[in-house]
Amino acid sequence: MKTFSQYALSKSDLGLCDAFADGFVLGAAAAAYQIEGSASADGRGPSIWDTFSHTPGKTVNGETGDVACDHYRRWKSDVDLMQSLALEAYRFSISWSRVQPSGSGAWNPMGLAFYDQLVDRLLEKSIQPHATLYHWDLPQALQDKGGWANRDTAHRFADYAEEIATRLGDRLVTLATHNEPYCTATLGHELGKFAPGFRDAALATQVSHHLLLSHGLAMKSMRSVSPKAALGIVLNQSAASPATESAEDVALARLLYAKFVRWYMDPILLGRYPDEIGIQHYPDVQVGDMELISEPIDFLGINYYTRLWASASTPPVPAPNALGVNDMGWETYPSGLGDLLLDHRENYRLPPIYICENGMACADQLVDGSVSDPARIEYVRGHLASLARASQGGVDIRGYMYWSVMDNYEWDSGYAKRFGLVHVDYPTQTRTPKESAHWYRELIEAKQRLSATQKIAVTA
């Protein structure tokens, strides 16, 4: 077992702490279906991910989230663990079918109590609670009525959002509508990779519009109950790099960026879809939809993992991968995060930003009670440095949440991909903080010492 001094911070790590405004938080994230387990406990209804993961051939080794990290039963000790890692914020998602088993009608008191107690315990431990309403797990009962292809689902979502804002909005720091609507629409309805597993590009475009509409309706319904929480949405984004300076590669980079980033950013922040996409299937947009979708947001969550690489030639020019590729096959490209944010600053009136996810999967091994993961430390260092550049460039960044607090169920990839700061041994559910977790704790504590010193200096 290593001693903590071996995780000591470098001088440049301390410099990182200095780059952010007071109040900037360092935390970690997870999502309901990926960690909770207890899939049918205490009245939880089935979601589309229960159905999908139990369908043969959809996930690696047929793995499901039935047990996952057993967090639904271990939540108290998990929060204690977060406290021991000095996390300042925890981002979690609410399982809609746990709190409203059919996605409409009756609420489930036991499901609601779970999140209520979780929020209180986080606050007791001085960890900011940040919640997301939808991290891909639509109640199956709503899918049976057409799911996100059915415009009515957007109204059911707004009702659900209002209920949660009423119950938890007094204590949450942020409350987001959707996590990564691109994944729900494109991976779930065009590529068939995620639940509900459709392969229909026109359907996916319509779904993306209904997701955005549901976001706008939910913003309004949540505002009507005046929650203290800041309200917003979390989008997955990447900078796009053309492989060469050829007109074809540059045009492809622009197109990929428009489909991945601008398709969601522009309606929310500018009130219109980007017109240079030239998609075959434009969604059915009704009068008033764009006004709803562009309801002002209090914060924008961004999830950043890698960049988009655009090569139009055959065979394509491979990405240089100078800093390596992680266990998901994603290139490590930290400078893309700062570039993306500085670019946004030019193109939009940005609300305050939280980085709601950023992390890497490694083939971590538990050896003699510890997990050595220097690549993850480098990954976080690089991305925080890039974020610091954006902060110094004038982007208002309020927090950074590492993905993920612990290893968990990585959707169609099952349990083989390990993103966590904490290693999970699934057969025993033993949690072991990795070296990156110790390093991250030291970084957080150094940041806290620094801001305490600054406060003393200001008041002296």
Q: Which residues are identified as catalytic?
A: 180, 357
- The DSSP-derived string for 376-409 is HHHHHHHHHHHHHHHHHTT--EEEEEEE-SB---
Residue 162 vs 357, nearer CB to ligand IFM:
357
Least distance to ligand IFM, CB of residue 303, Å: 5
Least distance to ligand IFM, CB of residue 357, Å: 5
Residue 95 vs 303, nearer CB to ligand IFM:
303
Q: Which two tokens stand for residue 182?
A: 């691109």
Residue 29 vs 265, nearer CB to ligand IFM:
29
Q: List residues near ligand IFM by CB under 6 A.
A: 31, 34, 180, 303, 357, 403, 410
Contacts within 8 Å (CB) and 24+ apart, 113-119: 114/42, 114/72, 114/75, 115/164, 115/168, 116/167, 116/168, 117/75, 118/75, 118/79, 118/92, 119/168, 119/171, 119/172
Residue 252 vs 360, nearer CB to ligand IFM:
360
Least distance to ligand IFM, CB of residue 251, Å: 28
Report the alpha-carbon angle 161-178-260, nearest 5: 155
Q: Which residues are paired to 164 by β-bridges? A: none
Least distance to ligand IFM, CB of residue 246, Å: 31
In which element (H, E) is residue 144 found? Answer: none
Least distance to ligand IFM, CB of residue 404, Å: 7
Residue 273 vs 409, nearer CB to ligand IFM:
409
Other C-beta atoms closer than 10 Å to the C-beta of 114 total 24
Residue 128 vs 132, nearer CB to ligand IFM:
132
Q: Which two tokens stand for residue 141?
A: 């009962």
Least distance to ligand IFM, CB of residue 18, Å: 29
Alpha helix positions (H), 288-366 = 289-293, 335-347
Within 8 A by CB and 6+ apart from 400, the residues are 24, 25, 26, 27, 354, 355, 358, 383, 384, 387
**Cα–Cα distance measured from residue 308 to residue 330, given in angstroms and rounded to the nearest whole number:** 10
Residue 59 vs 221, nearer CB to ligand IFM:
59
**Cα–Cα distance measured from residue 191 to residue 407, given in angstroms and rounded to the nearest whole number:** 25
In which element (H, E) is residue 429 found? Answer: none
Least distance to ligand IFM, CB of residue 143, Å: 19
Give the CA distances from residue 53 to residues 56, 66, 133, 187, 453, in Å, rounded to whole numbers and listed in that order: 8, 9, 21, 14, 50
Q: Pairing between strand 422-425 and 430-433? A: antiparallel
Least distance to ligand IFM, CB of residue 130, Å: 14
Q: Is 161 helix (H, G, I), strand (E, B) or coil?
A: helix
Report the alpha-carbon angle 376-381-385, nearest 5: 150
Alpha helix positions (H), 178-304 = 181-182, 188-189, 201-223, 247-257, 263-270, 289-293
Residue 70 vs 159, nearer CB to ligand IFM:
70
Q: Using only the alpha carbons of the chain, give its radius of gyration.
A: 21
**Cα–Cα distance measured from residue 190 to residue 206, given in angstroms and rounded to the nearest whole number:** 11
Residue 31 vs 82, nearer CB to ligand IFM:
31
Least distance to ligand IFM, CB of residue 419, Å: 6
Give the CA distances from residue 214 to residues 84, 154, 188, 251, 353, in Å, rounded to whole numbers and listed in that order: 37, 4, 17, 31, 21
Cα–Cα nearest to 55, from 133, 135, 185, 143: 143
